Amino acid sequence: MILQENPFPGVCGRVCPHPCEGVCNRREFDEAIAIHSIERFLAETAGRYDLKPILTRLAAKKQRIAIVGAGPAGLSAAYFLALLGYSCDVFEAMPEPGGVLRWGIPVYRLPLAALRSDIANIEAQNVRILTGQKIGSEFLQDAAGRYDAVFMGCGHSRTVKLGVPGEKTNAIENGLQFLGQLRQGNTIPLLGVSAVIGGGNTAIDVARSVIRCGGKAVILYRRRRRDMPAFEEEVQMGIEEGVELRELVTPLGITTDGAQYTLTLQEMKISGEDSRGRANILPDEGKTRELRVERVFKATGAEPAEDWYNPPDKTKVSLTLSHTILISPESGPALAFGGDLTNETKSVAHAVASGKQAAMALDIFFHGGMEAIVPKLAECRVGQGPSLSMEMYMEGSRRLRNTHVVSYEEINTDHFQFQPRITRPRLLKEERRTSFKEIDLKISTNLAIREAERCFNCGICNQCDNCYMFCPDIAVIREKNNNERHINYDYCKGCGLCVVECPRNAMTLREEDI
């Protein structure tokens, strides 16, 4: 089920910040379901027993598609295009696929085996990944004739310039490169204090990696902790491990005496908040501090490594979707851009979403042209956001579901008992400081089942049979296969008891049209 919609359950079960749990109805009852733990458990169980998914696949198509970049967006696009019947070649500059998953995210959050297992499943869908193939801008011309479309998922791998003196010399090291070196298997012993400039996940990853290399880490962030784009849980764990966080400071300059660097830090002050609730900041004139450190890393925002990776200006764009930009030039292959190149939120889940959206959009484009894309995608939407279902796109049974999103008020909580959410077993912080071992440990089958049983199953009948039991007129029929329930309209008096007693709002009552 998951693999029909997401080729990265092992990865997402670990590194996705699970916004789904933030809107889980169970949260208002006791605590949200630990969806990410269950996702990871399923991925691991499938791996352990070597279970192969039975995926819906469409008939083979003649079109060929090139994917540039084997990160989460590119691999997702290739995976979904393969399910839709296309043959895909993925070009990757690095010696191994994965992009930020392979070379960016530290191994204590995402072990190599988990990533490789997800990628192996993608390759098993007839996706060809060509590693060590650096693609230049001329590729877009060369691709004509060989490919009918190109998906650009090259990601953001170059760190944005800070504009601080000393940046041009080697004084300031690149955080992403540091993470990359670690993931290439290098051991980098660090002594003394490292300053990490930034407030995103990269800054946290760098700081926590510094600790694991034996150093001390100080994060310098120009806003407040609560304004950090980094996931709060990651920040919290970093601080537990000994990362020091200095808020409301920004580097002005850097000098060195050969052994140490001296950072001059401008203190910042808050002047109101922006529309998203982030602090607006101004330099607090005259207030500066100095900080002596052994190393300085910058881990501020990233941008595409080469300018031609970016989607061109608006005039040439044919269609802008929530996660993808499409271009249909007069000659040559169609172009789709995804992943960090187009996503406002730079997360793995959003990258997968862009790959899926691009795959569907290209499929529609080949059959019905640009105009057909938006209406067709609207038919495959899940919930109120931009999420799309590949199963629905392939005419699966999910199409038959009521599209109504069940709210907490619609759940009959009389039928549920309070039960605490599972706490995922973790390494102790002492163990975390000294090794790159994965922090989150496996959960047992028993725990995973218990957690899954907490699910309300909002809006989806799970044959609990409350409707059948409480019907005063024995007018709810259980089908012989035991999977379906029907109302016997000859005898139903319309009392509505079944609808109220349905714990999960899987039933509705409406007046008959006369």
The residues of the shown chain that bind another protein, judged by CB under 8 A, are: 414, 464-466, 469-475, 478, 488, 490-491, 493-497, 499-501, 509
**For another protein, the closer CB: 406 or 464:** 464
- Tell the smallest beta-carbon distance from residue 497 to another protein (Å): 5
The separation between the first and the last C-alpha atoms of the chain, rounded to the nearest angstrom, is 40
Distance CA 118, CA 3 (A): 10
- Tell the smallest beta-carbon distance from residue 107 to another protein (Å): 46
**For another protein, the closer CB: 344 or 414:** 414
Closest C-alpha among 237, 301, 250 to residue 279: 250
Contact 207, 242 (CB under 8 A): no
Tell me whether strands 325-327 and 249-256 are parallel, antiparallel or unpaired. Answer: unpaired
Task: For 306-326, give one letter per residue: b (16+ CB within 10 A) or e.
Answer: eeebebeeeeeeebebbbbbb
**For another protein, the closer CB: 308 or 470:** 470
- Tell the smallest beta-carbon distance from residue 403 to another protein (Å): 23
**For another protein, the closer CB: 417 or 446:** 417
Distance CA 485, CA 466 (A): 11
Closest C-alpha among 67, 81, 53 to residue 154: 67
- Tell the smallest beta-carbon distance from residue 465 to another protein (Å): 6
Contact 382, 469 (CB under 8 A): no
**DSSP letters for 47-69:** HHTTPPP----PPP-S-EEEEE-
- Tell the smallest beta-carbon distance from residue 502 to another protein (Å): 11
- Tell the smallest beta-carbon distance from residue 492 to another protein (Å): 9
**For another protein, the closer CB: 75 or 475:** 475
**DSSP letters for 271-306:** EEE-TTSPEEEEEEEEEEEEEEESEEEE---EE-SS
- Tell the smallest beta-carbon distance from residue 447 to another protein (Å): 24
Closest C-alpha among 74, 304, 109, 295 to residue 201: 109
**Exposure on the CB side of residue 367, measured as CA atoms within 13 A:** 12
**For another protein, the closer CB: 344 or 409:** 409
**For another protein, the closer CB: 440 or 501:** 501
